Structure 1
Amino acid sequence: MRTRLPRTVVILGLVSFFNDLASEMVVPLIPLLLVSGLQGGPVALGLIEGVAEAVASWLKLWSGRRSDWLGGRRKGLALAGYGLSNLVRPLFGLAGAWPVLLLLRSADRVGKGLRSAPRDALVADSAPPQIMGYAYGYHRALDNGGAVLGSLAAAAVIYWAALPLPQVIALSALPGLLAVLLLAFGIRETARASQQAARPPIPKLRWSCLSRPMRRYLLILGFFTLARASETFILLRAHELGLGVVAALLLWALLNFAKAATGQWGGGLADRWGRPPVMLLGWAAFALSFLAFGQVQQAWSLCLTTLLYGLFTGMSEGAERALVSDFARESERGTAFGWYHLMTGVAAIPAGLLFGLVWQARGAPAAFSLAGVLAALAAILFWLHLSGPASRVAVRRGGL
């Protein structure tokens, strides 16, 4: 892309890089903590991840709306969210039972709820429309790149220093602090012309105030989220197949490396082709990948499927967020991203519980296969309602 990314977008990408470096020193260890000492299983994992995401989703709507009400001043909310998560996350290793881990994980996600919508709206505020997909793809690529380094760092510390898991988790405070400092001192918000001029009032916080394409998109996305169970279940499957702690962390690094490798390229592709075709390709690949996860019985095939899943997932992440920006008016970008995160978060509890319950009752193959079928249905709905020729042109031009 010839157009340079704005400074704010570049800094936000680095903030996400270091924050995810800290986060992914911890998150892939959650399934291992559950099965090794906290007497938890797939249902407990589904409940922890589902409740945590649902708690965060309500705050995402509030924080996005609040940043619009503040006239587009979004940095303070994002800073509070990053600060809270990086204060709570190093405490995960001190949990003595899985309900305590549930509370700590929920507090971590409260921080995510405070920061996500304002941060995504900051990207939309800063990037020109013609490179919006590229900007979100860059942000997701650095986010996933931090996850790669975080899981590799945890694996290295466990392998060479032989530290216990609680001490490895505590070390995540260092890159987390760097992310907070970078956001605090690296970004300066300036008043935009639209803030200085008289603007129409922000629409009421009602579902009916969203545009029809936005509501249709969010409903289909919510249905797709029922299939998109937490990726930590992949690590639980790896544990079932006999992979140790270090091997599981390397698998997690492979997943995030694959997503990082295609994130920026996929965002640029969405700018050229239009968002819906890239989204449709990503969702179809998700469905096929989860159907494949249900059939793997050996570590090497699990690694291969994880690699392919990560490549296609990373490719479509930028397009997914750019679509929200396309549908939203400038004065309500924070609110629009709040609805986006709310819809995906509300579906997280039934998604996690359904996946965990099916796993416990029928085994991992049945759980992954069910998720694959649901994802395929969501892709069909997306194709029928949001990827016609008129929609592709309109979304590519930001006209829907």
Structure 2
Amino acid sequence: MVRLPFIGECAMFEIERTSTNDAVRIPRTVWMLGFVSMFMDISSEIVHALLPLFLTGTLGASVAMVGLIDGVAEAAASITKVFSGYISDRIGKRKPLILLGYGLGALSKPLFAVAGSSGLVLAARFADRIGKGLRGAPRDALVADVTPTAIRGRAFGLRQSLDTIGAFVGPLVAIGLMALFLDDIRKVFWFAIIPGIVAVLLVLGGIEDRRLPEGAVEAPPPVRFGDLAQFSSRFWGVVAMGALFTMARFSEAFLILKTNSEGLPIMLAPMVLVVMNLVYSLGAYPAGVLSDRFSSRHLLIIGLLPLMAADLLLAMTSDLAIAFAGIALWGAHMAMTQGLMAKLVTDKSPPHLRGSAFGIFNLVSGIAMLLANVVAGTLWTSFGPSITFITSAAFAGATIVMLGLANANRALRA
């Protein structure tokens, strides 16, 4: 077992080298949650792939407004995850909140098609992300609930991989529909409703809820101030680390705006998310397998290197081919870090507080995402895209240095 000091003694957490049992199969519920995520991501990414250009081109919004809308929406999702995680722990059920969250996500899609102002787009994004917040923490907690410890990394990696398949299929569908409807974005948005409905039906018919041991009694409400003491310093270290990772990575909307500013036609704008999410999908499951077999501390540092390289490429180039290489590296960073962070949250929190743990983690990360998006939008408007990406690279580099210093500190203590 290895101890890793992170941002002082109060944020100490332990990273363990784990062994994996290849004979253990990933539970059916995890597979079904992955397919539900896939269809909802197809629905969401049909919209999100075109939304930055819809806002700036059709509705005349500024890039700073794009950043603000994305930041507020993601922060709302993160705040909601705290309450949904708490409620799922309190009632001992995950599925009702998962269903409600995916249902709200599906119902929000028509609002994008009829939006006549950035205000209505903000309302639609807000509703969509509230749905994400309602389902996110209970869904991740359910994955942890039904999966043996030895294969948690690959279970989270599998769900993330299926989710991300939807995240590149959605933009491909958007490209085809844009060609069919001659760049009429509003008509494309209407088609996003269909995969959203499929996701809701899969939740209804395919997801089994957690099963408590016979005679088990649920713990007291976990989000009372005094109950936060049940979370160890190792868990809070993971939370702090997640915030730093998020500050180093703003919304993918800025990747779409970057390629469009370099000449990518509006009809092909969704290719940005296709490339990023294809790499993300292909890498998420192998990264999950590695996290089951090796210490996480080196994987976290390695996962930041592609992000920093991506930022530097995007800052320095006006060539679309190089920009897409940077976008692929961005996807590699996501694949290497997102499932690993979910595994760490699970490993460093009590089993009866997993929903609340994911809620708290996502709340802090959501606040960091809001700040990152507002900073990115302001820098883009004031100084241009190059400074925006250089700033992101600086955050990634600072995070690498902090993790490296923490490892050095640990070595000195050993």
Give the superposition deviation at 1:232: 1.1
The structural deviation recorded for 1:3 is 2.1
Residue 388 of structure 1 deviates from its aligned partner by 8.0
2:136 to 116, 122, 127: 116
What aligned pairs does 1:330-349 form with structure 2 within 5 A after superposition?
A: 330-349=351-370
- Pick the aligned partner of 1:201 from 217, 220, 234: 220
What letter corresponds to residue 131 of structure 2 in structure 1?
G
Q: CA deviation at 1:247?
A: 2.1
Does the Cα contact within 8 Å between 1:90 and 1:171 map onto a contact in 2?
A: no
- Secondary structure, counterpart of 2:358 in structure 1: helix
Cα distance, 1:203 vs structure 2 = 4.2
- Residues of 2 paired with 1:280 and 1:104: CA distance? 36
Aligned residue runs from structure 1 range 115-194, under 5 A: 115-162=135-182, 164-193=184-213
Q: Report the identity percentage.
A: 35
Q: 1:255 to 1:312 in 2, by over 3 A?
A: same
Shift in Å, 1:279:
1.9
Contiguous gaps of at least 5 residues in structure 2 = 1-21
Which residues of 2 match residues 235-274 of structure 1 at below 5 A? 235-274=256-295
The answer to whether structure 1 residue 229 and structure 2 residue 215 are counterparts is no
> 2-side partners of 1:209 and 1:48: how far apart?
35
How far is the alpha carbon of 1:325 from its aligned partner? 0.3
Residue identity in the other structure for 1:240: S
User: How far apart are residue 192 of structure 1 and its match?
Assistant: 2.2
- Distance in 2 of aligned mates of 1:125 and 1:213: 20
Distance 2:186 2:40 in 1: 19
Comparing 262-271 with 202-211, greater Cα deviation is found at 202-211
For residues 361 and 264 of structure 1, do their structure 2 counterparts lie closer, same or farther at Cα, with a shift above 3 Å needed?
same
Counterpart residue type for residue 160 of structure 1: L
- Cα deviation, residue 199, structure 1: 5.2
Q: Is the Cα–Cα contact under 8 Å of residues 157 and 287 in structure 2 kept in the other structure?
A: yes
- Given the superposition, is the C-alpha separation of residues 387 and 162 from structure 1 closer, same or farther in structure 2, using an over 3 Å criterion? farther
State the shift of 1:38 in Å: 1.0
Structure 2 contact 181–188 (Cα < 8 Å) conserved: no
CA distance in 2, matches of 1:188, 1:204: 26
> Is the 8 Å Cα contact of residues 94 and 139 (structure 2) preserved in structure 1?
yes
Q: Is the 8 A contact 1:134 1:268 kept in 2?
A: yes
- Deviation of the 1:227 alpha carbon: 2.2
Q: Which residue of 2 aligns with 1:394?
A: none
Question: What is the CA-CA distance between 1:163 and the residue it aligns to?
Answer: 6.0
* Structure 1 residues 161 and 40: alpha-carbon distance in aligned structure 2, compared to 1, 3 A threshold: closer
Partner of 1:312: 333
**Is this contact kept in 2: 1:264–1:315, CA < 8 A?**
no
Change in CA separation of 1:199 and 1:57 when aligned onto 2, cut-off 3 Å: closer
Q: Give the SS at the match of 2:224.
A: coil
Q: CA deviation at 1:107?
A: 1.0
Partner Cα distance (1:344, 1:47) in 2: 16
Partner of 1:396: none
- Quickly say closer, same or farther: Cα 1:353–1:191, change in 2 above 3 A: same
Deviation of residue 387 (structure 1)?
Answer: 9.3
Partner residue of 2:315 out of 294, 311, 314: 294
Instruction: Indicate the residue corresponding to 1:368 in structure 2.
Output: 389
Q: Pick from 52, 63, 72: which aligns with 2:73?
A: 52
Does structure 2 retain, via aligned residues, the 8 Å contact 1:11–1:186? yes
Range moving further from structure 2, 290-299 or 323-332: 290-299
- In structure 1, distance between residues paired with 2:172 and 2:327: 16
1:70 maps to: 91
Contact 1:50 / 1:353 at 8 angstroms: preserved in 2?
yes
Deviations 1:180-206 (A, max 9, x none): 00011111225221x632455354533
CA distance in 1, matches of 2:287, 2:408: 17
Displacement of 1:177 = 0.4
How far apart, CA to CA, are the structure 1 residues paired with 2:218 and 2:202?
32
Q: Match for 2:396: what amino acid?
A: A
The range that moved more, 158-167 or 359-368, is: 158-167
Assess, with a 3 A threshold, how the Cα gap between structure 1 residues 13 and 266 changes in structure 2: closer, same or farther. same
Which segments of structure 1 move beyond 4 Å, counting only runs of 4 or more?
386-390
Q: Note if contact 1:202-1:332 (Cα within 8 Å) is conserved in structure 2.
A: no
Contact (CA 8 Å) 1:38, 1:98: kept in 2 or not? Answer: yes
C-alpha contact (below 8 Å) 2:310/2:325 kept by paired residues: no
Q: C-alpha separation between the residues in 2 aligned to 1:164 and 1:352? A: 27
> Does 2:99 match 1:79?
yes
Number of the residue aligned with 2:300: 279
Secondary structure at 1:24 match in 2: helix
Whole-angstrom CA distance in 2 between matches of 1:112 and 1:203: 21
SS at match of 2:50: helix
Deviation at 1:274, TM superposition (A): 2.5
Letter in 2 for 1:269: L
User: What is the deviation of 1:296?
Assistant: 1.6
- CA offsets, 1:47-78, max 9 Å, x none? 0000001111111000001100012x010001
> How many angstroms apart in 1 are the aligned matches of 2:203 and 2:407?
36
**Does the aligned pair in 1 maintain the 2:111–2:120 contact within 8 Å?**
no
Aligned residue among 370, 374, 381 for 1:353? 374
What is the CA distance between 1:383 and its match in structure 2?
3.7
